[in-house]
Amino acid sequence: MDDALLQVSLLPGVQDACDTARKAVDRLRGHRVLRRKSTEVSTESLLRGARASAALEGAPAHLEEVRSGKATHPLVQGALRISGEMGPLGATWKTAPRQVLARLHVLAARDAVPAERLGRPRDEGTPTPAEVAARLDILSDLLTARSTAPAIVVAAIVHGELLALRPFGEADGLVARAASRLTLIDRGLDPKALVAPDVGHLEFEKEYRETFEGYLTGSAEGVAAWIRHCAEAVAFGARDSQTLCEAIERG
């Protein structure tokens, strides 16, 4: 199979954006606090990412409310459930992505949709269920095939495709952003889940939504702009965690 994802990485500005984001992640991973506090940083990063993802899905909450358990919106709770299973799901993502997507939806939408709809593809709407199934097959093939494309490129395509397909009809944004983060973990950019790209997506929310609209056009320019935004979100998430490390170091 041709390395289609590698070809995407050759679009204008994509490689430079990925390199910049990787340098930010590498700086974070080299922080001395992580020698003894990596679990603490990862836990906080997952919490911040969950809060940001829920906000992007229309369920804003203050970080302290989320941390204290006072944020009771179903989508906030769904995002937190996802963050709690990132480790176990990462082990399955590379070999059975469709299975993981179903599980992500169960976690995301448990309090928002009837039990019989959890983890099940929607049966109406646009794109049609048949189109969704076909494109998910293609996405699964890309994920399970070998590729030398940067992890950020792969994660951005996963993110964009799942947002575009809306495979479940509810809480699809939570699923898409979680799948993107699993890709960054699985592909070695952020193996300890220290970086919360969703914090960056929320910080640059206008750009997030505008570049996704460009992605939907399928044009080279639109896809490249979307990936560049995703790389910028990763870099912002890395800097956010770097700030956390420095706060821990200061005590």
* pLDDT at 1 exceeding the cut of 60: no
In this predicted structure, what is the pLDDT of residue 251? 83
Residue 195 DSSP class: -
Distance CA(77)–CA(71), nearest Å, equals 8
pTM of the model: 0.97
Q: CB of 194 within 8 A of CB of 39? A: no
User: What angle in degrees, to the nearest 10, is found between the helix axes of 205-217 and 220-250?
Assistant: 150
pLDDT for res 2: 74
The Cα angle at residue 69 between residues 39 and 25, in degrees rounded to 5: 30
With CA atoms as reference, report the closest residue to 55 among 232, 209, 210. Answer: 209
pLDDT band at 231 (very low <50, low <70, confident <90, very high): very high
| Nearest C-alpha neighbor of 39 from the set 227, 160, 196, 194 | 194
Residue range 131-135: average pLDDT? 96
Q: For residue 229, what are its two tokens?
A: 């935004």
